[in-house]
Amino acid sequence: MPLAAGTRLGPYEILAPIGAGGMGEVYRARDTRLDRTVAIKVSRDQFSERFEREARAVAALNHTNICTLHDVGENYLVMEYIDGAALKGPLPVDQVLKYASQICDALDAAHKKGITHRDLKPSNILVTDSGVKLLDFGLAQVGPAPKSGEDATLKIGLTEAGTILGTAAYMSPEQAEGKPVDSRSDIFSFGVVLYEMLTGRPAFSGESTVAIMAAILYKEPAALDVDAPAALRNIVKRCLRKSPGDRFQNALEVRTALESAKARPQDRPTDDKDKQPSIAVLPFANMSGDKDNEYFSDGLSEEIINVLAHIPGLKVIARTSAFAFRGKEQDIRKIAEALGVSTVLEGSVRRAGTRVRVTAQLIDAEDGSHRWSERYDREMEDIFAIQDEIAGAIATALKTKLAVEREESRRHTPVLAAYHAVLKARYHLSKVTPESMLRARECLEQAIHIDPAYALPHSVLGGSFVTPAVYGIIPAHQAMPLARAEYQKALEIDPMLPEALVGLAAIAMLYDYNWKEADRLFAMALTRGPLPGGARARYGQFLYWTGRPEAAVKETEGALQADPLNLTLRFLLALVLLAAGRGEDGAGELRHILDLDDKFHLAHFFMSLTYLVRGAIEEALASAERAYALAPWALASSGHVAGLLKLTGDTERSETVLQKLGDGTAYGAPLGFVYYHLVGAEIDAAADWAEKAIEQRDPVVLFLLMLPVSKDLRQSPRWQALSRIANLP
């Protein structure tokens, strides 16, 4: 019997029915103790075992995109009340990508706890103003998949009421056959949901349950007749493959592929013949028998990437993401799918004395066939010609052309030894350790000595000072003047070198607070063509700080399209999203970073700030402690942890940690005190230390001041003076 309004279940008063919830009725209710609205699911007796399963599953999860369990009664669950509507398509592609990514985040969190949902469908996904919420874990499988026959919910059986366990149209083939399932079954169901989000119609249909099951087992869904990126269509196809081994193997793989599928509306193909050509250049294999020659094979790959970037309309995956597959024996088609490209270039390099042999092959991601292949046996002095020939051959194969003649884009052909020294420097810089940074600078100084007319080593040397300053490793007052001098030397040689122009723009932004000069320098760099990924991210920061948050988000997302596995770019996107007031999206990006690399301490640190804003103090402290453990040298983390410890009553340890900041004169210490006082809502003290951090030119302070955690500071009387010191527009 349905419960009437006013019925009491413990401290909860029933207000109104919401609907059926799988194995029970769901009601809107009032928690009389905390005076809040909740949702209560009341169990039906015959489903009590599954009811208990749902309680265990949801209790094990704590995720933004999963409905929260508040309490458990004798025959009811008390859940978070979600003011939303069931997911329904068709939806615009941007919304599809957003909601799909959040669903993947929720599934990934569940799967990592050993929980398979087994009933993923639109009615179990509610859309709210802040995103989606996954609910109803009544059919969830907790732990490893049982053998067939051990769990009745694996079978398509009927209950006494004549209803089917699960929902036929969203089951995976193995679930429909009564076989054991694992998380890949949820991937199939997700593909069905994704198909429906795009088209507004079910992927599999029939006049009866048996007909629907037959379609799932033996038929393919109708072709996607919607305007969507090719990469997104491929994601749907792969999710819906009949064999679990042919699908994405986990939700994180799907999430990564979805990020690659994000494209601006003007880039989305409306017909197969209009698809944007795209390519990933994998690191060329070093066949020389000497590991020290790896810098050369890597450098050749990177140089080809740089040349291909001059082809208009060609999407070229950046070095960081393309090189993420080094040494991994993976199917080329799966690599292409993960990076969202239609072609892949791979090859090998063998050096012997003054000779070099380069082999290269362009592979079609659709069927793995070779579009083009060639072998070059040349003198080492011909390496630049080899790069140009490979790029030209690719342009011909993709039926496009270079935007400029290579002779124009390479204004100076460097002395070969200097060129090798720059390749070695970039190889060492990619490792990002104090030792590798030192070796890189030695290589760059050698390149400058060998070829004084070579502008690039000066620019790369400038960047080797800016990066550690941004991460708080070198004081800005020490690093930025050194970087500025090198960028200026580069521009004396080549006045329009984009790398140097963007480097000086970053200094104008982060150190001089000269926004007009930064604008001028970015504009000059843009005249030379599209900015590379890192430079686009810097430009995105500039757009945000000059009052254009949506443009900033788009610019940073654009950088990620060409470099989807670059965690630094993704981190910058998270900060821009958080600063733009899109907290859920920003937190989602931070979680995605931690899924890929749990040792990325800055992601833990800023995740803690998002928890703090939401009032989840225990979670904030846990994330802050993790960041502090990974980077004990980061004084900002020390201040933040100390503030949270004080807030939770652990004053003794708080004072111990706070002592690391000393008297606040050390580089980074003022920012640590800013975090400490913001946690305690001590706004005037936070403002005092923010002023000192600005005087130190700590680059992170500008990010902090724009985040939600600093909202009270921005609304205080102190803000006007602070923004004037930073010369914020």
Question: Which residues are marked as active site?
Answer: 119
User: How far apart, in Å, are the Cα atoms of 118 and each of 96, 154, 297?
Assistant: 21, 9, 47
Cα dihedral: 110, 115, 116, 117 (round 10): -70
Question: What is the distance between the alpha carbons of residues 370 and 364, in angstroms, rounded to a whole number?
Answer: 6
> What is the torsional sign of CA 142, 143, 148, 150?
negative
Cα angle at 601 between 432 and 62, to 5 degrees?
Answer: 145
Beta pairing, strands 278-281 & 315-316: parallel
Spatial contact of 514 and 727, defined as CB atoms under 8 Å apart: yes
Residue among 491, 484, 449, 451 nearest 465 (CA): 484
Contacts of 153 (CB under 8 A, 6+ apart): 50, 118, 139, 141, 165, 166
Residues ≥6 apart with Cβ < 8 Å to 551: 540, 543
Amino acid residing at 458: H
Residue 641's identity, in one-letter code, is: V
CA distances from 522 to 46, 72, 489, 518, 557 (A): 67, 57, 18, 6, 18
The Cα 658–Cα 77 span in angstroms is: 43
Contacts of 409 (CB under 8 A, 6+ apart): 307, 310
Distance CA 559, CA 542 (A): 14
129 touches 98 (CB < 8 A): no
